[in-house]
Structure 1
């Protein structure tokens, strides 16, 4: 499985979590593997579980940088993509920032509305510009 495919799988897990707030990410994965006969990629698991470990910090970033939009007004697709990508921007050193943003925009084009890709790009660009200097992609 490619990184892009694993990222898409992580997006789906995070998206499913938005409908099943009481389930852990492990429960979501268990249901996905049993119900749909899929095997969760280790990178997808790392992204989805990493997001869960930092959900409050990530949601604060979304609220801070999605100007004029309340969290409850953001589509579940865009919100799930933002959560995944902000995790990559702030907490994962495996992927350069610009790659994480590009992948997020591609997910938004594939799964979201016409407006989602530009919204996601704008929010992620603001998050990237606000990162502390010691958390740049060159670290």
Structure 2
């Protein structure tokens, strides 16, 4: 549950960076203040920093699989949930794909629109299949 909270904190920070052009450290202080301890803050920072450091690669993968959507046209929440999930799929080797996708879908259910969870599940599933990530159905 603490890792889920850390993902929420990372999402909040990424949202602020994306919409307000706030430095990550400032955004994290605000987001962690909404809930979390040092372990949550450390994992949230690791995730958010990883997303920002890999942004070009992540956005390219998302754009390739988000049929009919450019990354810049996506709702900000969906875009950042996709970035977070894509980062965990492609850049965190010990993270099971099913967990990365499931956690992103849960964030979408909580923070996105009525269609967000289905959209995010489809895009991340396609990215995982193309990358050959273990534990993802090839259907």
Name the SS for the 1:18 alignment partner.
helix
State TM-score, norm by structure 1: 0.85
Residue 57 of structure 2 aligns with which residue?
57
Q: CA deviation at 1:37?
A: 8.7
| Equivalent position of 2:66 in the other structure | 66
Backbone CA RMSD of aligned residues: 2.2
In 2, distance between residues paired with 1:123 and 1:34?
A: 28
**May I ask how many residue pairs the two structures share in their alignment?**
133
8 Å Cα contact 2:5-2:36 kept in structure 1: no
Give how far 1:109 is off.
0.4
CA deviations over 1:79-100 (Å, ceiling 9, x no partner): 0100111000000123211100
Query: What TM-score, normalized by structure 2, do the two folds share?
Result: 0.85
- Give the equivalent residue in structure 2 for 1:128: 128
Gaps of at least 5 residues in structure 1 are: none
Contact 1:93 1:137 in 2 (8 A): no
Residue matched to 1:8: 8
Q: Distance in 1 between matches of 2:123 and 2:66?
A: 6
Residue in 2 aligned with 1:27? 26
Following superposition, the deviation at residue 33 of structure 1 comes to: 6.7
Gapped regions of structure 2 (runs ≥ 5) = none
Q: Report if the CA contact (8 A) 2:59-2:83 is conserved.
A: yes
Q: The residue matched to 2:19 in structure 1 has which SS?
A: coil
Q: How far apart in 2 are the matches of 1:25 and 1:47?
A: 11
The residue that corresponds to 1:95 in the other structure is 95
Change (3 A) 1:97 1:34: closer
* 1: CA distance, partners of 2:28 / 2:80: 16
SS state of the match for residue 56, structure 1? Answer: helix
- Following superposition, the deviation at residue 38 of structure 1 comes to 6.7
Cα distance in structure 2, aligned partners of 1:115 and 1:36: 26
